[in-house]
């Protein structure tokens, strides 16, 4: 059964077509710079690659192009769009409402719209993708998979901020957490690798990409995570600050006269690795610069890893028994230096990494701890799209689309 996964960003659409239940990737692509006259379309099927630059006005037109590509007599993968039985949509914010993926109906769409103030940059393009795909794929089951869903098992003790309670009651200000699809995927994979039931593992999952978050998983369920009300809290990220004293924001505004919109830009776009290193938000460039003696690049790496280590310590305490630590996403999968520095000195706590294995592990699923390590350390490449495809496949099956 063909399942299409769609991830609409503010000016982009990523898509992947899977054949399920074999989990085989059939075709994939990315449309970028939507809204401009020079949007780029990248599409690949097997080894053949197609590229084009042209005007793509909006997400609706983007979806129309995807539908045409997938049915193109030469480049396409299906004769008719009705062969695509389900469309899985990544939706960033599902509020407190959605504890798992949902079949999309009017009620679900209204809720996604209701959550726009909580995710003003993400939920609107997610919604546009849904509306367009209902138009171009009317016979497919439409499913929404929420970044927040995996974290809905977090208890009030961990999700409430110590601000007047009415802000939660009236405005639902609380920790939501993000990257849930990725944390869930690697947690389930870790359980499989250990030969355990998915609800029989305690672990810490570190999703370190452009955005970074870390989650404490107890009995297979998220019990705490570093991102909060917005994806700005927690770890140091490419351009986001992660945790800071909220007093700094007041100081920016009241003493330095910086406008709220500018504060937003500073903390979301100009901070993190880019802000400290002054080099880039890309970890590869920072490592290269540090290797040439750039002290600020070196410091950025140290600060990044120190913050990861601090959270690991906190979550070890919260979990009491931890079976494993998993590293995933661009940095987690490809930067041995980050894994080594984040876990350095934790031997007394039962974490011993095999330096050779760690050094040689890039983007492959592998254990990197030594046999005597009480807590297993793994690199598990994330695959959010496949997780979304699996959820969508289950719904399509239930709807009798086989
Ligand atoms: P996103 O959160 O946008 O999905 P990624 O998971 O791709 O981002 O992570 C991007 C980060 O991972 C960048 O800092 C980049 O330098 C790093 N990264 C990605 N691929 C590699 C690689 N092959 N080697 C080293 N670092 C990588």
Three-state DSSP class for 224?
A: strand
Any residues with Cβ below 6 Å from ligand 1, and which?
Answer: 209-211, 238, 282-284, 329-331, 334-335
Give the mean model confidence (pLDDT) for residues 378-387. 97
For ligand 1, mutation pick of 206, 209, 239, 286 (most atoms within 8 Å of CB): 209
Instruction: Say if residue 114 is in the same domain as residue 256.
Output: no
Strand 376-379 versus strand 324-328 pairing type: parallel
Q: Is residue 74 part of a domain?
A: yes
Last residue of a domain, one of 119, 146, 173: 146
Q: What is the reported pLDDT for 169?
A: 98
Q: Is residue 165 part of a domain?
A: no
pLDDT tens by residue, 311-329: 999 999 999 999 999 999 9
Instruction: Say if residue 129 is in the same domain as residue 226.
Output: no
Instruction: Say if residue 127 is in the same domain as residue 221.
Output: no
CATH code assigned at 341: 3.30.420.40
* Catalytic residue check, 224: no
Name the average pLDDT for the chain. Answer: 96
Instruction: Say if residue 300 is in the same domain as residue 202.
Output: yes
Give the mean model confidence (pLDDT) for residues 9-16. 94
Nearest CA to ligand 1 atom 18: 330
- Cα(333) to centroid(ligand 1), Å: 8
Q: Is residue 330 part of a domain?
A: yes
Say whether pLDDT at 401 is over 80.
no
Say whether pLDDT at 400 is over 90.
no
pLDDT tens by residue, 118-153: 888 899 999 999 999 999 999 999 999 999 999 999
Instruction: Say if residue 205 is in the same domain as residue 78.
Output: no
The minimum-distance atom of ligand 1 relative to the CA of 332 is 12
For ligand 1, mutation pick of 330, 338, 339 (most atoms within 8 Å of CB): 330
Instruction: Say if residue 315 is in the same domain as residue 207.
Output: yes
Instruction: Say if residue 140 is in the same domain as residue 200.
Output: no
Instruction: Say if residue 294 is in the same domain as residue 220.
Output: yes
Q: What is the reported pLDDT for 60?
A: 95
Say whether pLDDT at 402 is over 80.
no
Instruction: Say if residue 98 is in the same domain as residue 232.
Output: no
Instruction: Say if residue 312 is in the same domain as residue 375.
Output: yes
Instruction: Say if residue 66 is in the same domain as residue 204.
Output: no
Q: Is residue 391 part of a domain?
A: no
Q: What is the reported pLDDT for 46?
A: 87
Q: Is residue 337 part of a domain?
A: yes
User: Which of 38, 72, 105, 147 is flagged as catalytic?
Assistant: 147
Last residue of a domain, one of 146, 161, 179: 146
DSSP 99-152: SS-EE--HHHHHHHHHTGGGSTTTHHHHHHHHHHHHHH-TTSEEEEEETTGGGG
Question: Who's near 222: CB < 8 A, 6+ residues apart?
Answer: 150, 151, 153, 154, 177, 180, 183, 184, 215, 216
Instruction: Say if residue 137 is in the same domain as residue 224.
Output: no
Last residue of a domain, one of 81, 114, 146: 146
Q: Is residue 177 part of a domain?
A: no
Domain residues for the domain of 60 are: 2-146
Say whether pLDDT at 83 is over 80.
yes
The residue to which tokens 């590229």 are assigned: 51
Question: Percent of the chain having pLDDT more than 90?
Answer: 96
Rounded to a whole number of angstroms, the CA Rg of the chain reads 21
Q: Is residue 153 part of a domain?
A: no
- Number of structural domains (the chain) is 2
- Cα(398) to centroid(ligand 1), Å: 36
Q: Is residue 171 part of a domain?
A: no
Tokens of residue 34, six digits: 């939507």
Q: How far apart are CA 309 and CA 303, in angstroms?
A: 10
For the whole model, what pTM was predicted? Answer: 0.95
């Amino acid at each position: 059964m063909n399942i299409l996964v769609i991830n609409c960003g503010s000016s982009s659409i990523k898509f992947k077509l899977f054949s399920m239940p074999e989990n085989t990737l059939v075709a994939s692509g990315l449309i970028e710079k939507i809204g401009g006259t020079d949007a780029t379309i990248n599409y690949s099927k097997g080894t053949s690659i197609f590229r084009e630059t042209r005007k793509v006005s909006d997400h609706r037109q983007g979806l129309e192009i995807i539908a045409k590509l997938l049915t193109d007599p030469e480049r396409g993968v299906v004769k008719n769009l009705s062969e695509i039985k389900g469309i899985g949509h990544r939706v960033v914010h599902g509020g407190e409402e959605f504890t798992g993926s949902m079949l999309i109906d009017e009620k679900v769409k209204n809720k996604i719209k209701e959550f726009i103030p909580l995710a003003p940059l993400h939920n609107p393009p997610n919604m546009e993708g849904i509306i367009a795909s209902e138009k171009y794929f009317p016979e497919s089951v439409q499913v929404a998979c929420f970044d927040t869903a995996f974290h809905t098992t977090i208890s009030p003790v961990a999700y409430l901020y110590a601000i007047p309670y009415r802000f939660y009651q009236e405005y639902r200000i609380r920790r939501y957490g993000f990257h849930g699809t990725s944390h869930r995927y690697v947690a389930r994979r870790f359980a499989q690798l250990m030969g355990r039931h998915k609800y029989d593992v305690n672990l810490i999952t570190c999703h370190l990409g452009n955005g970074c978050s870390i989650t404490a998983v107890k009995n297979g369920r998220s019990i705490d995570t570093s991102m909060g009300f917005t994806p700005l809290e927690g770890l140091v990220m490419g351009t986001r600050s992660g945790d800071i004293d909220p007093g700094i924001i007041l100081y920016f505004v009241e003493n330095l006269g910086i406008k709220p919109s500018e504060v937003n830009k500073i903390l979301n776009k100009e901070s993190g690795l880019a802000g400290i290193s002054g080099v880039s938000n890309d970890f590869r460039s920072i490592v290269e610069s540090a290797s040439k003696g750039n002290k600020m690049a070196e410091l950025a790496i140290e600060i990044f890893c120190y913050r990861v280590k601090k959270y690991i310590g906190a979550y070890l305490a919260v979990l009491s028994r931890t079976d494993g630590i998993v590293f995933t996403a661009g940095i987690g999968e490809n930067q041995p230096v980050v894994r080594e520095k984040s876990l350095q000195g934790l031997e007394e706590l039962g974490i011993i990494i095999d330096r050779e294995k760690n050094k040689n592990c890039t983007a492959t699923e592998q254990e990197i701890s030594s046999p005597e390590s009480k807590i297993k350390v793994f690199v598990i490449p994330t695959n959010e799209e496949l997780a979304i495809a699996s959820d969508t496949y289950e719904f399509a099956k239930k709807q009798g689309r086989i």
